[in-house]
Chain A
């Protein structure tokens, strides 16, 4: 699904060049549930941004679903690929403050030219899946952190992506809520969607099937923790 070969990325900091990723080789298969771990500055968020076509890379090759992602991809093409294949969940939720829950969830479909009525209907279905249908008319400011993140997950799912990228999705949540969120990701993964979570928390990474550890821009080793893998739960979690 996602394949990186000898991928390099650096940033210019003043006069000096700072190498963030130093020849990453990585292969994530369809349907995997992967976490990328590393301390601050290890390059994990940069890696996620490149995988999510939010950022470009300097050297190497990146294949998404077998298609080479060009180093100098245009913004329009990148937007189209993101819209078609990828979904994003961020630590700070990144919901639009002036849109209510259902409008936030429906937003990706707006850019796919789906009619307002149709996309709101679909958004309600996804809100129902994350247990927040009753909160559909509420603004983000009226919701808890866990509820906001569920809305963000519903928004990432509405385009029926092949891969969900989550950058520290539990970073702003308490442990119980974090566990609930990870349960939802497990549910999503059980439906065949590849999930890539960036985290610095061991507890969170242990809930994934495969842990990729990054240090100073290099993959250290790969674990397959298979620890505390949460069994698929047909009952959807209830809101906080």
Chain B
């Protein structure tokens, strides 16, 4: 099949029609190039969306206090709803399907941290022990906050790797004390969290923070992850939480602003399904662009078959079967398409690499690239395209009657 004779004839055909073949090949290369660039861009959007969610638990709910907008039981709207430790306990007791839970008090406070003569500003986040599971933070050394730390109001902290590198350099931080604006915290662990901005933090027990930073029993945010069976009922659970809080804080269950409940699982699913839709759209655009190229190759193969009618007749007269003629024409089409397609593939990947190198990233777009399965799919698509392009001309060639072809002499 891949004998010298076949290649000899393919190269001869191409050399006879250099300009025509080159122009056609460009259209195929362009089709693949567009497909790859679009797929890379789609992947960039996907990466951007992923980064927005970080690597945190996906089937999770965030509950924050808000402000009432509906008058209820004689109370005017505009009342602030402050979540407390009791709300956290109540939700844990009453709501089913909770897998991991945490609460945050003043989660965005950046404090000046000092160790010896080194100073740095990092977020100090007061949380519960399961927070590290929700954040998907990996412990590098020591331990995370535990329930005894909470119960005993211990002044301990678990620090992110960048915090450790900044304050302790090569020194082992475990057992050392960090000064957080006058409050000493003993380092009990170092973690690494690849989520967006999740690593430049230190975690301290929420109970300690409430006492040390005048928080009383206030909570800024309750974060829950749901068991897989609960993920499907997340909407129902959101309503249950809303009703529970409405009852406790005396606001209308219909008041959407009294507390804000963000359903990350649903949000994530919505964005991912939108991205999947974009991806399908990209494939459709890419394939239609490619079809223009395929039609070009098919067209040139038709001309080649017409020009070689006599030669095909001679071959048939001396024993070529229709299938051998079909194979030869298809191989030519596949060859032109494969070479052109590969050029398009390399150029497309090259452009994406360039974009990556330059670092054209934004909030919703980062690291556009083409992964291996997509590259393989594109290669298979190129070969199939070549075969499709050659199919009609090859059938026409196979139908050439030797007697008519020879009469044309």
Contact = CB atoms under 8 A, between A and B. Distances in A.
A116 B321 contact: no
Nearest to A90: B406
B317 A94 contact: yes
B15 to A, nearest CB: 10
A96 interface: yes
A54 B402 contact: yes
B314 A94 contact: yes
Nearest to A106: B5
B111 interface: no
A82 B318 contact: yes
Nearest to A155: B318
Interface in A39-80: 49, 52, 54-55, 75-76, 79-80
Contacts of A54: 317, 401-403, 406
15 contacts: A49-B403, A75-B316, A76-B323, A79-B320, A80-B319, A82-B318, A88-B317, A90-B406, A94-B310, A94-B317, A94-B409, A96-B311, A110-B5, A111-B318, A159-B319
B322 interface: yes
B23 interface: no
A79 B319 CA distance: 5
Contacts of B401: 54-55
A175 interface: no
Interface in A92-148: 92, 94, 96, 98-99, 103, 107-108, 110-112, 116
Interface in B285-325: 310-311, 314-324
Interface of A: 49, 52, 54-55, 75-76, 79-80, 82-83, 88, 90, 92, 94, 96, 98-99, 103, 107-108, 110-112, 116, 155-156, 159
Nearest to A165: B317
A190 B321 CA distance: 31
A82 B4 contact: no
A75 B398 contact: yes
Contacts of B398: 75
Contacts of A94: 310, 314, 317, 406, 409
Given A92-B409, A110-B5, A79 B322 contact: yes
A112 B324 CA distance: 11
B4 A112 contact: no
A116 B8 CA distance: 13
B12 interface: yes
B238 to A, nearest CB: 69
A111 B321 contact: yes
A57 B248 CA distance: 98
Given A94-B409, A116-B3, A116-B4, A111 B314 contact: no
Contacts of A112: 319
Given A54-B402, A54-B403, A75 B321 contact: yes
Interface string B376-409: 0000000000000000000000110111001001
A225 to B, nearest CB: 28
A90 B321 contact: no
Which residue, of A55, A92, A103, has the highest number of chain B Cβ atoms within 10 A?
A: A55
A79 B323 CA distance: 11
Residue among B8, B12, B398, B406 having the largest count of chain A Cβ atoms under 10 Å: B406
Contact of A111 (B9, B311, B320, B399): B320
Contacts of B402: 54
B178 to A, nearest CB: 79
Nearest to A110: B5
B403 A80 contact: no
B137 to A, nearest CB: 65
Given A55-B403, A94-B409, A96-B311, A108 B318 contact: yes
Nearest to B4: A116
Contacts of A96: 311, 314
Contacts of A103: 5
A79 B318 CA distance: 8
A229 B149 CA distance: 120
A90 B322 CA distance: 21
B321 A80 contact: yes
Nearest to A112: B319
A90 B310 CA distance: 13
A76 B318 contact: no
B148 to A, nearest CB: 82
Contacts of B3: 110, 116
Nearest to A94: B314
A145 to B, nearest CB: 14
B394 to A, nearest CB: 13
A98 B403 CA distance: 22
